[in-house]
Each structure stands twice: as structure tokens, then as C-alpha cells.
Amino acid sequence: MQKRTLGNGNLEVSALGLGCMSMTGGFSLIPDRQEMLALIRSAVERGVTFFDTAEVYGPFINEELVGEALAPVRDQVVIATKFGFQFDEGKSSGVNSRPEHIKEAVEGSLKRLNIDTIDLLYQHRVDPNVPIEDVAGAVQELIQAGKVKHFGLSEAGAQTIRRAHKTQPVTALQSEYSLWHRKPEEEIIPTLAELGIGFVPFSPLGKGFLTGKIDENTAFDSTDIRSTIPRFTPQARKVNQALIDLIGIIAERKEATTAQIALAWLITQKPWIVPIPGTRRLERLEENLGAVTVELTADDLSEIESASANITIQGERYPEHLERLTGL
């Protein structure tokens, strides 16, 4: 597995990470825990060293799963988790990045992950009620205390990133980025390039849509978050199929899958971009990892660029109440 470095903090990780959110629910019924433990360990065996979780996934049980799975290889992997939500009776009830709450959240994450230090700690969503300088300062204190190694932000806007970075250097930004969500190219990626901050795209496969396995006739269970997302209505999927058709042309030529082309495109954008596709199946994990060896030429990239410019993606990426939580 190829390695990449995130930011000027010299955090070295595998060229593809593994997003673990769906391993404790979110896209359907909660999968078998033993199977998910085995899947995470299979990823390690295949060279993945970068694993992504958060306290809100579950909530809490995702960190426990990741911690247990990686305990035997703790010194070989990078574990990223996130703070930033308030919990009432075990459910998220909004954002909370007050410094005292951050420190409480980190203590909980350390315990659930069963580790002494969090390799990369993200603010999960920007808290409009807490100055980002206070957030960065709290994480700085945690770094000085040896409880955190690197500071990250998620879904933060360019000015927020700049302000945080002045207080405590930001190693990585995690935000959605893929062939069907390219907004980060406007301000975010240039800002990261200027400041020397790595980029960790989540949903690099468009919550499964860019695998080419979903069409307008696909049915989603009511427990599946995609059943609430405007971009996944049958009409939107029918229109958005044009992007899959485009990727499919490149995939056929490269003897690859559409998922591999979508991931290879991301990796090719910058040497400091590390996507974290999630999966709950070993065959999908292996397929995703195969993207690292797919070579897209300048002509391939130009073809994707010119053709995709004529495709307008239909539907918002989140329901309105969740879209308000983004800082973009």
C-alpha cells in the first residue's frame, strides 16, 4: 500500500483510509459486530493504516468497535476520531464545542478506543456559538498534555480554517469531496494548499452512488440515511445516472470498476488527499484498495473534466436540517 503525508504535521497514512461509520448502522440495520471486527483487521492486513471514527457514530459504540479491532496493532495504525456534539439521553442534540466539553469528549473517546493518545482529533462540525480560536486552543492544550497528536477540522469554511490554523496548526480537513460534490475546489482546496493542510474526503463514493450499483429503482430501507437525502430520490438518481455513465466509459477502458475510477480520480487531484471510503464487505474493501493502482492519464482526466462540466447533479447532499450544520 502506498503512503501519503497529511499536512505539514508529517502525519503519514496509507493512500486510502477506512471510514468506519457504517459499521455500527446508518445505512441499514446494524451489521454483525464480529464481522466488522474481522473486516477492520482485514484492512490492516491489506496495508490500510488510517481508520476513521467519531463519538457520534452509534453514538459511542463505533469507537469501541474500532478500538477493539485495532488493539493488537495499535502501534502500526493512525486512529482519527471527532468531537463536537452534545448528547442528551444517549442521542445527539446539537453541536457543542465548548472547551470544557471538548476535554470531556476526549476523555470518553480515549476510554472507548482504549488508547493513550488520539492520533488525529477533528472538530466534527463548526459550533457557531464558540470562537474557533477557543476550540483550537482547547485542542492545543490536549496536544501539550499528550492526549492528542494532531488537530483536524471537518466541513469548515476557508476563513474558519485560517483562524484555527493561526492558533493551533491544522493537520487535516475532513469534508465531503467526490466527482458528484466538487464545491471544495472553489475555496477549500486552494486554502489547504496554501497552508499545508491535508485533505481527507469522506463519502468519496457518494454514499455508494458512484459505485454504479444504485439506480432509480433501488429501494432504501427506512433506517437507511439515504432515504432522507434529496440527492437519492428516484428522480434525482435518474438524472444523476449521467455521471455514472461517464465514469463507466473510463472504467471499461481501464479494466476497472466505476468505484475504482472515482477513487483514483480523487487520489490524482493532490498528493495530500487521502479518501476514506467506508464499507461493510470484504469484496468492496478489496475493490476500493485496487483504486490505488489505477493510473489516470492527463487525457483521462481531461476527458472526465470536460464531460462532467456538462452534467448538473440534481438534489442537495443532505436534508435541510443537516445541511445547516456544515460550515461551507
What is the set of active-site residues?
57
97, 123 Cβ separation under 8 angstroms: yes
Residues 35, 31: Cα–Cα separation, whole Å: 8
Buried (b) or exposed (e) across 292-309, using 16+ Cβ within 10 A? bebebeeebeebbeebbe
Maximum separation of any 2 CA atoms in the chain, in Å:
54
38: nearest Cα among 204, 281, 315: 281
Q: Report the alpha-carbon distance of residue 236 to residue 241 in Å, rounded.
A: 9
Phi-psi map region of 308: left, alpha, beta (phi>0 left; psi -120 to 50 alpha):
alpha
User: CB neighbours (10 Å) of residue 223?
Assistant: 12
Question: Where do runs of H (alpha helix) occur along 156-216?
Answer: 158-167, 188-195
The tally of CA atoms less than 13 A away on the side-chain side of residue 59 is 17
Query: How far is residue 103's CA from residue 138's CA, in Å, rounded to a whole number?
Result: 7
Q: Cα angle at 218 between 248 and 59, to 5 degrees?
A: 100
